[in-house]
Amino acid sequence: MASFSIDFPGTPHQFVLSATNAIKNKGGIFDGNPTTGSFSLQTLIGLVKGTYQVLSDPNSPQTKVAITITKKPFIVPMSKIQEVIASYF
């Protein structure tokens, strides 16, 4: 497992809407709310699964999100996973 955080330029509610659309548009599964959740996404070389936890106040205009990757293809470096996940938001 590996963790990283991202800064989303919007409220926690906007983060959930954006994440849901981004991951589902890529054929993945997103299950969450403005506090916590999980996601999974099939890539060309394997499955990526993770969880997230919103660290910011619910009314914050910018949202800090802690992401933990719980499963990834062995040959893909964590830096690449982080880059791709962050680009969805």
Q: What is the CATH number of the domain that holds 68?
A: 3.30.310.80
Angle at 44 between CA 16 and CA 54, to 5 degrees: 20
CA-to-CA distance for 54 and 71, rounded, in angstroms?
Answer: 20
Residue scoring higher pLDDT (12 or 89): 12
Domain count, the chain: 1
pTM of structure:
0.86
- The pLDDT tens digits of the residues spanning 76-86 come to 888 888 887 77
- pLDDT band of residue 43 (cuts 50, 70, 90) is confident
Its domain, for residue 63, covers 2-87
Task: Collect contacts of 21-27 with beta carbons under 8 A, ≥24 apart.
Answer: 22/88, 22/89, 23/88, 26/88
